Structure 1
Amino acid sequence: MNKKHIMVFGAHALDAELMAGPVIAKYTKQGHRGTIVHITRGERGNPKKSPEIYGKQIEEEMVKVADGLGAKAYWMGYPAGNIPSLEKVQFDICKLIREEKPDVVITHWRGSLHPRHILTHDAVVEAVKMAANESIKMDVEPYKVPHLYFGENCEDLNGFIPQIYVDIEDTFEQWIDALKNYELFRGDVLSVPYEDYYKTMAKIRGIEIGQKLSKAFMVAPHVQDMLD
């Protein structure tokens, strides 16, 4: 089997898994590789815990969630609220892409209400371009990502158009069970009904395509044209 590598970039812990968790599980079950990349941990998001304590907790949670999906977790090392310049983030992601050589990259759609989601979108899109650019020199050879997709996130729906549907009936429960390793997903941090929302959205996307449960993704033609 020709093993593929799917890599998903999220702004905060939980973002990437919400966008593509069941698809990661679907492909790792088939023997492919999955990597979940967190730009930040989102450690400032718990009003009951200090960022230091909550950040360490999230680092443990992200590994458990990734294990539950058959993937590996990777944190870029940026503290929440202290992300370096966009150029630095792009360079670091470019280097990671060249090192890991993913066949599929997934990240946020840009139509978001969250500034860090927009930053992540911009950084990943540019990093994918940079990774293939032979004039950009670093200690890793250039690499051209074959496919770049944008996942569906409840905070990134402005202009999101579902174009690619993946049947997730076989990994849906595995996905939800893995996500419950996050205190945030369980509803113990904020009152956002993540589980209800994403269960409902999976059913709605399934109805649209004639499946029971589905996950939707978007392709940006101007970006994919550059990759082809």
Structure 2
Amino acid sequence: MPANRTPSLRIIGFDADDTLWHNERFFQMTQERFAALLADFAEPEHLDARLLEAETRNIGHYGFGIKGFMLSMVETAIEVTDGKVPGHVIGQILAAGQEMLSHPIELLPHARESVEALAGRYQIALITKGDLLDQERKLAQSGLGELFDTVEIVSRKEPATYARIFDGHAPGEAMMVGNSMKSDVIPALEVGAWGIFVPHDLAWALEHADPPEVQTRFREIADLGELPALVAEIG
């Protein structure tokens, strides 16, 4: 292979939540319900800030996902009411979380077509973080499971995560596609993979990060419908 030629792609990783299917919209809907339940105790903006603080400090304990979100809501409800939160409110918070855990999966536009177009020509991996049982449920309901050669449900997405998953592949042979600049793009770029950003209208505050200023393997596409052509261009 000529020294100035980029190695051909061999493996393409896909994020799941808000890349292949809707996810954040259900968190936001539940958070609005949470604000209504505690309207007598805190203004929505103050409550949102306290909940985000709880989620931030609890990630190390509960990880990412709906169950950690539920526990953070309960903790926040106790804090903002000085321990006076009614039992029925706690019950409704838990019920809201259980509804999230059973909500049907809604694929994003072009998700199936894009993965199907690339499957068989490349090794296809699902790389997602969150609660194991919930992510397995969503993958099963999505109907996409048979298209992936490997599924990785991880607690965090860091450079070491991608280095392990992409082990054995030279720089430029791996690609990660996702809606989180912080979790999907930047750490993948740091280990020599392509980082493809697919923005979603809704994004969790803790997933925000600035795009890389200079990075030859970074690309942004409007939606997954543009991915097969970009992959063909890269090789």
- Shorter-normalised TM range: 0.3 to 0.5
Higher Cα radius of gyration? 2
- TM-score normalised over the length of structure 2: 0.38
- Structure ranking higher on relative contact order (CA contacts 8 Å, 6+ apart): 2
| Structure richer in helix, relative to its length | 2
TM-score, structure 1 normalization: 0.38
